[in-house]
Amino acid sequence: MIPGFVLAGGASRRFGADKALHPVEGVPMAARVARAMAEVASSVTLVAPDRRLEDLGWPLLVEPAEGPRHPLRGVVAALAACAAPRALLCPCDLPWMTPQALAALVDMGEPAVAAVDGRVHPLVAALPVAWLPRARALLEAGAPCRALVEPARIVPLPAAALRNVNRPEDVR
């Protein structure tokens, strides 16, 4: 099996509060994603810039404070901490993510990234740890996340699983 990492490094500016801790159907978003991931991953670790998620009951990886503030920072932290050849990644603001969708990425057996209607979701991916140097270089360059996953195989997933929450009204 593959270790899983729930990425929770965003500032939640548009949301107005910490999205990772916001409940959806009574469960914090980060915990919902972690539960789905736990059905397909050998382990699940939350990745955040600080300790704010430590009470959720999942192992927590705190991103190094140095380096630019960028979504790839969590990816770099996850790949650096991963003891297996590949890591399963998913951001915390996809509270309707399903184990089946994540399994589709894992089952590729190669670098894979999620997409809906051809639109790639670069932080929903199963990536090789060997891509860590590439991820670090792209982070330092401030490159978009999609630059990391360009060589990955695109896996079409259901739109409902990739429904993103950016504002409180997105939860309704």
Stretches in the chain below the pLDDT threshold 70: 10-17, 167-172
Q: Residue 164 has what pLDDT?
A: 82
Per-residue CA distances from 44 to 66, 80, 98, 144 (Å):
24, 15, 14, 25
Q: Residue 10 has what pLDDT?
A: 62
Q: Residue 101 has what pLDDT?
A: 98
Q: Residue 165 has what pLDDT?
A: 73
pTM here is 0.94
What the chain holds in terms of domains, given with CATH numbers, is: 2-171 (3.90.550.10)
Q: In what order do the strands lie in the sheet with 60-62?
A: 60-62, 41-48, 2-7, 86-91, 119-128, 112-116, 153-156
* CB environment 68-78: b (16+ within 10 A), e (fewer): eebbbbbbbbb
Which of 16, 35, 28, 69 has its CA nearest to residue 52?
A: 28
